[in-house]
Structure 1
Amino acid sequence: MKPEHLKSIRQKEVRRILKRQYEIYAELRNLGYRKLEKPIRHGWFKEIEITQSIERYKNKEAIEELFKVVENMFWGRTKELANKKWDAHVSEHLIYKNFPTISKRVFKKLSESAKAMCTSFYYQDGRRKLKFRFYIRIPKGVYKIKYTKAYITHAKKIDPVLLSEVALLNNRLLKNGYYEAKKKIENYKYYDDTEFRRQRRKIKCQLHMYTKHTIDQLLKEDLSWEKN
């Protein structure tokens, strides 16, 4: 009988190792957290808070519903870093009158009264791609922005035995021939598609530019078909 090929043996062993690692990570996640006797001071939150003046509005429930679905808290090790995350969110998704916007997916799940307080708009993301979102027409007086101290109140439970087994399995994957077998199993890409993606973005940008003009303009060759 012909003996089994060495590469096939390695692949079977690597599959067993990866399967066991997956099981261990699941066990570690299921350990949960334990509450600390004394919370540990850890950074700052820049957050949006609903004020008591909300009681004066008839659409109070709609405002509270909208407040629950927006990202209203940003953490940083310092106030400056928390504010930097806030600014990054402004740049990525836009913030209207210091209140976060929402996506179309979130908008669809809102009640009719909450939807009535939203207005759609288009914007360009970092790749100059048009995105669709909703800003919220919420009364300025019902919320405020403040910094609050952040604390660590819970710690992740750990199991030294499981962690030791993970380290042992990782070392086994470093054996000669095992790394290549792992790459093959996980179907890693062996080519660099950076240039292809760059060219594709360039072409899409050029095509989008021509959508702003009429067919007559294009037929009369009033436009240059080369990007300046």
Structure 2
Amino acid sequence: MIKGTTFATDQSGLRPIYAGVLFDLKDNELNMVALDGIRAAICHYLNGSSGTISAVIPGRTLNEVAKISEIEDTEVKITFTSNQILFTIGKTKVISTLLDGEFGKYETFIPNEYTLKVIVNKQSLIDNLERASIIGREGSFSSVLLDMQEDKMYITSSSQIGDIKGELDVLLQGLPLQVKANSKYILDALNAIEDEEVMLKFTSSLSVFVITERNNENSTYLISPVRM
């Protein structure tokens, strides 16, 4: 869940609360949420722990915990105080101050209805996006156009260097649509998903779209499109 969220934390330093990941535990369900104003990552987990906890943990702390837990290969125990969190990983302890501030109501960000759902092989989509990113990169930003119609997804990118267009077979449910987005944000989400197939869900060309695994929604990724 850590690696599925921390990449979406805000790195600008302008909103310190969003440099962390929300740990939201209630009704035996845990949601870990990161967002930076353009995208969001939400990982859902059924948890046997009782009680209610809502705290924002620094993303850097979670990344360190993830590295240590890979080395220790043991269960991570988490203890909260009013303003701190303690991770116990085998014989290693990591303590951090929680971030103070009001975190956005992430539940309201997820669309209730979609006009288009697209099922596609994850690796094929990654390969096409990476090729398109080479052409469309402008600094750290690389935009691609997703054109979905008749069980095909066309991925196009243009710049002064040239143009590139890829084609994928997809399972399309709904109305044809074109959406422009930052390819890096899509790739970050895809690389956090383990399933071989993913589902992309759209409402319109200007609305937030959603990426999940095909067969479950334990991990949900939201991305704001680029205006065409």
TM-score by shorter chain over 0.5: no
TM-score by length of 1: 0.20
- Of Structure 1 and Structure 2, which has the larger fraction of its residues in helix? 1
TM-score by length of 2: 0.20
- Of Structure 1 and Structure 2, which has the larger fraction of its residues in strand? 2
Greater relative contact order (CA < 8 Å, ≥ 6 in sequence)? 1
